[in-house]
């Protein structure tokens, strides 16, 4: 009993602090986790198990996948198609939300949202609308679409399994569709006509810090006639550069010198293979007068016209670069870009840049015209490294990872069962329709703070017990649990889709209730009669 009170109190306090908005949501989540660990409810060894939960991994991976889709050109193609709709925010919300809902009926709703998320951001930039107007409607649309078919969400599959376990046939593929489609259509109309108007006009936050750290680059610099290192030794080069670097090799008149000594002098025309980080390459060039060597088959300075840019990219697992060198793929002649440097995790290569065979995870420093780089990166199976890390909203990951054990504690302490037991007592002398509404509402409230699959596992047995105890068919009660577990509109932690848009949309915890509460009321008011119409008591 004491542990139940602690969990209830912790969840209530966390929700109050989330709504208050004065403290960072990741800090509040960690504070809640700290309380349940200190109270002995969650074992210390399991305190951070939430960060390995599939929900957390899915959110982080989907954020990266969405950025990869953006760079693949697919987003631009979809964005151009949607952009033809004009600047009407109502039409944009309607079309984008409908597309997400339709896709969510037949694929993972988080994945469906991930595909359209960069499209919505692209459209917001083009039309001048804040992304906060578009992203939460998309997240809620993915939840609505997921409730329309058996495979739309895992909770529907669990509900179908419970029905089969009671001796009947499990719900079929489209048994959820009559109620789900009706609620989805009503929900889409609400999102497009009124829902977005309840959201704040808030731009997405930007991080001031680079959230990544990579090994030093292997790069090549040419000693020009006017360079200040002509006649200087290796040790003097380090002093002139005033940066941390390591000289790995030297090429002089086509002759390779491996690991030149500290007193080895440089001559004009020497190509020096050095190891240093990306931030110090510019200082190396400016302080010594050397110039970066761009491959393949061409020497170019990193400076140039305004549309010449330098970017970092990581070689992906399916990249056609794997096992091939710069000379093999002809980066310059085929794609119009130069390789300036390579960084390789936990290993060091002493080969010249043109001879390095690329491996998975290699980080490339590329130079070229912006349009050429954008088109080349998808073709070569590369993703700009900064985008991999910047696309992950780490405070949101901490929020989700910390709250999963707290939500699980509600189940393990018996708190959720106590709540469900109270609903059973209400069943005597209460109209079935009202009891169904209570069950639906309670399921929605639980799904706002714990995983929707866990919500079904808790509520489905209670729903069956109440129905059988009062002489009702179990189908309408199971359908109420299915709908309620999918309708997690009140918090960002209720579903991965909600969490996914929190960072890009610049949302605060309370923003979800602003649009989610009226949508929740709509689902209850329309859902109960629709359930009773298609699944009579």
Q: Based on the domain organization, do 221 and 293 belong to the same domain? A: yes
Is residue 394 in a domain?
Answer: no
CATH number of the domain at 362, please.
Answer: 3.30.70.1450
Contact by Cβ (8 Å): 234, 263: yes
Q: Based on the domain organization, do 180 and 225 belong to the same domain? A: no
Last residue within a domain, chosen from 372, 387, 402 = 387
Specify the pLDDT at position 383.
Answer: 57
Q: Based on the domain organization, do 315 and 441 belong to the same domain? A: no
Specify the higher pLDDT residue, 283 or 194: 194
Is residue 310 in a domain?
Answer: yes
Chain segment 343-357, per-residue pLDDT in tens: 765 555 556 666 778
Q: Based on the domain organization, do 188 and 223 belong to the same domain? A: no
Is residue 2 in a domain?
Answer: no
Chain segment 164-190, per-residue pLDDT in tens: 877 678 888 899 999 999 999 999 999
Is residue 405 in a domain?
Answer: no
Q: What is the mean pLDDT of residues 326-344?
A: 71
Specify the pLDDT at position 318.
Answer: 54
Chain segment 294-324, per-residue pLDDT in tens: 544 333 333 444 566 667 776 765 577 777 8
Specify the pLDDT at position 353.
Answer: 67
Where does the pLDDT of residue 525 fall: very low under 50, low under 70, confident under 90, or very high at 90 and above? very high
Among 506, 425, 499, 429, which Cα is nearest to 465's? Answer: 425
**Residue 211: is its pLDDT beyond 60?**
no
Contact by Cβ (8 Å): 474, 467: yes
Distances (CA, A) of 198 to 202, 204, 356, 512: 12, 17, 55, 10
Share of residues in the chain with pLDDT > 90 (%): 15
Is residue 465 in a domain?
Answer: yes
Q: Based on the domain organization, do 38 and 127 belong to the same domain? A: yes
Q: Based on the domain organization, do 185 and 254 belong to the same domain? A: no
* Three-class SS state of 251: strand
Among 344, 372, 368, which Cα is nearest to 356's? Answer: 344
**Residue 392: is its pLDDT beyond 80?**
no
Q: What is the mean pLDDT of residues 140-151?
A: 91
Specify the pLDDT at position 303.
Answer: 40
User: At 119, phi and psi to the nearest 5?
Assistant: -65, -45
Contact by Cβ (8 Å): 221, 291: yes
Distances (CA, A) of 225 to 233, 236, 378: 15, 17, 39
Contact by Cβ (8 Å): 249, 255: no
Where does the pLDDT of residue 425 fall: very low under 50, low under 70, confident under 90, or very high at 90 and above? confident
Q: What is the mean pLDDT of residues 381-387?
A: 58
Q: Based on the domain organization, do 356 and 476 belong to the same domain? A: no
- Residue 193's CB: how many other CB atoms inside 10 A? 12
Q: Based on the domain organization, do 130 and 98 belong to the same domain? A: yes
Q: How far apart are alpha carbons 312 and 487 in whole angstroms?
A: 41
Contact by Cβ (8 Å): 456, 160: no
Q: Based on the domain organization, do 178 and 266 belong to the same domain? A: no
Q: How many domains does the chain have?
A: 3
Instruction: Find the distance separating the first CA and the last CA of the chain, reported in whole Å.
Output: 35
Where does the pLDDT of residue 62 fall: very low under 50, low under 70, confident under 90, or very high at 90 and above? low
User: At 536, phi and psi to the nearest 5?
Assistant: -60, 155
Q: Chain-wide mean pLDDT for the chain?
A: 78
Is residue 82 in a domain?
Answer: yes
Q: What is the mean pLDDT of residues 81-105?
A: 82
Specify the pLDDT at position 280.
Answer: 72
Is residue 328 in a domain?
Answer: yes
Q: How far apart are alpha carbons 238 and 86 in whole angstroms?
A: 57
Is residue 3 in a domain?
Answer: no
Specify the higher pLDDT residue, 520 or 422: 520
Specify the pLDDT at position 396.
Answer: 64
Specify the pLDDT at position 497.
Answer: 86
Q: Based on the domain organization, do 295 and 425 belong to the same domain? A: no
Q: How far apart are alpha carbons 137 and 120 in whole angstroms?
A: 11
Specify the pLDDT at position 191.
Answer: 95
Specify the pLDDT at position 178.
Answer: 94
Where does the pLDDT of residue 479 fall: very low under 50, low under 70, confident under 90, or very high at 90 and above? very high
509 burial via Cβ count (<10 Å: 0-12, 13-18, 19+): buried
- Residue 268's CB: how many other CB atoms inside 10 A? 13
Contact by Cβ (8 Å): 486, 145: no
Where does the pLDDT of residue 123 fall: very low under 50, low under 70, confident under 90, or very high at 90 and above? confident
Q: Based on the domain organization, do 352 and 440 belong to the same domain? A: no
Q: What is the mean pLDDT of residues 230-240?
A: 85
> Residue 145 is part of which domain span?
11-198
Q: Based on the domain organization, do 54 and 134 belong to the same domain? A: yes
User: At 256, phi and psi to the nearest 5?
Assistant: -90, 130
């Amino acid at each position: 009993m004491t542990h139940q009170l602690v969990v209830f109190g912790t969840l209530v306090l966390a929700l109050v602090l989330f709504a208050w908005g004065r403290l960072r949501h990741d800090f509040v989540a960690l504070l809640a986790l700290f309380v349940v660990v200190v109270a002995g409810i969650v074992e210390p060894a399991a305190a951070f198990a939430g960060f390995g939960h599939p929900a957390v991994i899915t959110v982080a991976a989907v954020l990266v996948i969405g950025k990869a889709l953006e760079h693949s050109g697919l987003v631009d193609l979809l964005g151009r198609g949607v952009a033809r709709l004009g600047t009407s925010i109502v039409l944009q919300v309607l079309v984008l939300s409908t597309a997400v809902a339709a896709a969510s009926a037949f694929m993972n709703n988080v994945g469906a949202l991930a595909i359209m998320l960069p499209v919505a951001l692209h459209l917001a930039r083009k039309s001048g609308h804040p992304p906060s107007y578009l992203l939460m409607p998309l997240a809620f649309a993915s939840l609505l679409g997921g409730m329309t078919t058996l495979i739309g969400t895992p909770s529907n599959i669990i509900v179908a399994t419970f029905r089969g376990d009671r001796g009947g046939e499990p719900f079929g593929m489209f048994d959820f569709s009559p109620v789900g489609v009706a609620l989805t259509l009503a929900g889409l109309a609400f999102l497009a006509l009124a829902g977005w108007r309840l959201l704040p006009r808030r731009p997405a936050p930007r991080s001031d810090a680079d959230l990544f750290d990579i090994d030093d680059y292997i790069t090549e610099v040419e000693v020009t006639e006017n360079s200040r290192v002509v006649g200087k030794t290796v040790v003097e080069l380090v002093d002139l550069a005033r940066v941390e670097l390591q000289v790995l090799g030297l090429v002089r008149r086509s002759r390779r010198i491996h690991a030149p000594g500290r007193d080895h002098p440089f001559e004009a025309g020497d190509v020096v293979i050095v190891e240093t980080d990306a931030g110090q390459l510019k200082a190396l060039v400016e302080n010594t007068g050397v110039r970066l060597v761009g491959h393949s088959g061409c020497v170019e300075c990193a400076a140039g016209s305004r549309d010449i840019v330098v970017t970092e990219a990581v070689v992906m697992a399916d990249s056609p670069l794997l096992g091939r060198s710069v000379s093999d793929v002809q980066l310059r002649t085929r794609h119009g870009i130069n390789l300036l440097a390579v960084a390789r995790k936990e290993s060091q290569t002493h080969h010249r840049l043109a001879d390095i065979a690329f491996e998975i995870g290699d980080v490339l420093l590329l130079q070229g015209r912006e349009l050429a780089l954008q088109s080349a990166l998808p073709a070569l199976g590369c993703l700009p490294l900064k985008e991999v890390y910047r696309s992950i909203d780490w405070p949101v990951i901490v929020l989700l990872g910390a709250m999963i054990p707290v939500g699980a504690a509600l189940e393990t302490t018996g708190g959720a069962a106590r709540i469900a037991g109270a609903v059973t007592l209400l069943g005597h002398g209460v109209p079935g329709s009202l009891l169904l509404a209570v069950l639906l509402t309670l399921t929605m409230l639980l799904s706002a703070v714990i995983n929707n699959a866990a919500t079904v596992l808790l509520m489905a047995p209670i729903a069956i017990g109440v129905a059988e105890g009062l002489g009702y068919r179990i189908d309408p009660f199971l359908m109420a649990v299915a709908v309620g577990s999918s309708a997690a509109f009140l918090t960002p932690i209720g579903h991965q889709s909600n969490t996914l848009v929190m960072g890009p949309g610049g949302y605060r915890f309370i923003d979800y209730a602003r649009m989610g509460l009226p949508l929740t009321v709509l689902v209850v008011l329309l859902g109960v009669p629709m359930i009773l119409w298609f699944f009579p008591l």
